[in-house]
Each structure stands twice: as C-alpha cells, then as structure tokens.
Amino acid sequence: MSIAIPLLNEERVLPELLRRLRAVVDGLPGGPHQIVFVDDGSTDGSFGLLQQAAAADPRIVAISLSRNFGHQNALIAALDYVTGDVVVVMDADLQDPPEAIPRLLAEHALGYEVVFASRVGRKEPWPLRVCYYLFYRLIASMADLPLPLDAGDFAVLSRRVVEHLKNLPERHRYLRGLRSWVGFRQTGVPIERSERFAGTSKYGFWKLVRLALDGMFAFSVAPLRAAALLGAATISATLIYVAYALYAKIALHRSPPGFTALLVAVTLLAGIQLLFLGVIGEYIGRIYEESKGRPHYIVRDVVGNPGRPRP
Ligand code: UDP
Ligand code: MG
C-alpha cells in the first residue's frame, strides 16, 4: 500500500501527521508499505522535516517540486511516484484522519476499486459549509456523469484506477471528478471531517473558486447551453413585446413610452452578453491551456527510495 500526500507549508502539522501515520501503517498487515509526500513548493521548514523523516524511515519518500504548482498537480506528482498496489490519497493537515485508512482499505478488500470518504460533520465555519454543500449539489446536477456528493480527495484507489488517472492527458484536473469518470466499482464511506490540526487553510477563497470552476467546466457544457436557452427566452419575450407594441400602435393609436424600459433592456442584455462572453472565454482559455501541453509539475528533489517506477 502507498499513501500519497501533497502538502504546502505544513511544518506545524508534519510531526503529528508522521506520528499518527506511522502508528496506522505499523498496524496494517502485509507490506512493505510506502508514504510519498510531495512538497508543493513550501517556503517553511516542511521539506527539511520530510528529508529527516525519509532518512530515518525507509518507507518514506519526500519529493519537492520546483515551485508551487497547486494541490491537484502535487497530487498528480504523488500518484506518479507511488508504487503500491493500493493507493491512499489524503491531505496533510489531518482533516482526513489517518485512523480511517483501515476502514477504507477494508471496503477496498471487498472488491471496490475506488473507496472515497464522504465528508460528514465538517468543522468549517457555516458560510463555507453552505458553499461546499451548494457546490457539490450544483456540480452534480450539471455534470454529464453522476458525481457523488460531498466526496473529497481522501480515498483508496486500486492500481488500475491510478494508472488510468495518470494516463489522462488533460491539464486542468479535478481529480475527484476524474476518479468517478474512470468508473469501476466505487463506494463511499462516511468519515467525519476533522478540524485542521494546525496552521491555516492553503485554499484561499480564489483558489477554492478556481477549483470549483475547474470542476464545473471540466465536467459540463451546461453553461454554454444556458446561453442558448437564455437567448431563446429573450427572443420569445421580445416577440411578445413587439406584438403588443404593434397592437397598441394600430388599434389604440399610441406607442408605448419607454426611456426607462429601453435603458433597462439595453444594460441587461449587454450584461448577459458579457457574462456569456466570459463563459465562452473560460472554455477557450482551457482549450489554450490544453494546447500548450506543459507538464503538470517539475520535480526538484527526491529524497528516499521511491522504488522501481511502474511502466
Ligand atoms: N496544498 C498543496 N498545494 C497548494 C495548496 C494546498 O499541496 O497549493 C495541500 C495542503 O498542504 C493540504 C491539502 O493540499 O495538505 C489541502 O489543503 P488545505 O487543507 O489548505 O485546504 P482545505 O482543507 O482548507 O480546503
Ligand atoms: Mg484542509
């Protein structure tokens, strides 16, 4: 089994994380197991701590990226390096409790290739919880394939699933969606989402918004369809109004007044057009990103023995 953990500036969490992870891994049957940390361009002492840990424990591999590539890319790096037949994906901040790993593995042993943690009992402040709640439901209703609700990245993946994920060519990755896309037998286990052990969230507001947009645009063209639908609705409304205006002119001999109505209509339509220009722009921007074909990450250092890379 391998554990894949991307992290950014988590020096205050790492000692506790390592302690709890070791305790869990020691208790697992089989082995040798492996823990792969990917340091996503930390500016604190995280990588130093990881180097020490890797030197002291042959099960630990520490990889540092050349800069901050973002959580999803760091996760892809971790997936590229893990060699286990079963792979656990988790966050470094102990919001995903390591003690839950055996429960996920037990479910995997029943034949499920993807076992994800369904997040229950979140501890974040309520406005954020409302956003998470709405986001997962919005994206599930828009996506072209069924996406499980409240499923984060914490999961157990079979080797087959990891290989398929690695072979996906796309740049903008929303892994929890791609994980569903891959298919095979999947199931969720309700696992309480703990509070972050120390430090502050590395997902600022805009990073979260970007992740949400990545998820939405990668799994749905509904925003494009919305433009067409709104256009059709606008044309229908206009035709009705034209009919009324003609009737008023011919039968009642008066033209409807309307400087205010004119202003409202013009600014509203201009706004809608700009909005959907932006939506189209999002898709085009993503096409551009894909066409550049840059790698997801660049590795600076690998400490510890990652073992033989899989073909
Ligand atoms: N993380 C990362 N690169 C980033 C941002 C975050 O590797 O650019 C890691 C972070 O260290 C943590 C995980 O991704 O292990 C989830 O981030 P965080 O806990 O800050 O997000 P939240 O749980 O608040 O959404
Ligand atoms: Mg967290």
Q: What is the pLDDT of residues 121-139, one digit of tens each?
A: 777 778 778 888 888 888 7
C-beta of residue 223 within 8 angstroms of C-beta of residue 217: yes
- What is the DSSP secondary structure assignment for residue 236, as one 8-state letter? H
Report the DSSP pairing between strands 114-120 and 151-158: antiparallel
User: pTM for this one?
Assistant: 0.77
C-alpha span between 281 and 290 (Å, rounded)? 14
Probe residue for ligand 1, chosen from 3, 7, 43, 129 as the CB with the greatest number of ligand atoms within 8 Å: 7
Residue 301's DSSP bridge partners are: 64
Supply the pLDDT for residue 311: 43
Q: Which atom of ligand 1 is nearest to the CA of 92?
A: 15
Supply the pLDDT for residue 63: 93
Q: Which atom of ligand 1 is nearest to the CA of 199?
A: 20
Residue ranges for the chain with pLDDT beneath 50? 310-311
Supply the pLDDT for residue 175: 83
Question: What's the gap in Å between 7 CA and the centre of ligand 2?
Answer: 10
Supply the pLDDT for residue 308: 63
Question: What's the gap in Å between 228 CA and the centre of ligand 2?
Answer: 38
Indicate if ligand 1 lies below 6 Å from the C-beta of 74.
Answer: yes
DSSP for 136-187, please give it.
HHHHHHHSSS---TTEEEEEEEEHHHHHHHHH---SS--HHHHHHHH-SSEE
Q: Which residues contact 67 (CB under 8 A, 6 or more apart)?
A: 41, 298
- What is the DSSP secondary structure assignment for residue 201, as one 8-state letter? -
Question: What's the gap in Å between 251 CA and the centre of ligand 2?
Answer: 67
Indicate if ligand 1 lies below 6 Å from the C-beta of 203.
Answer: yes
Probe residue for ligand 1, chosen from 69, 71, 90 as the CB with the greatest number of ligand atoms within 8 Å: 71
C-alpha span between 186 and 252 (Å, rounded)? 67
Supply the pLDDT for residue 32: 85
Closest ligand to the CA of 152: 1
Indicate if ligand 1 lies below 6 Å from the C-beta of 70.
Answer: yes
Burial 223-240 (b: 16+ CB within 10 A, else e): beeebeeeeeeeeeeeee
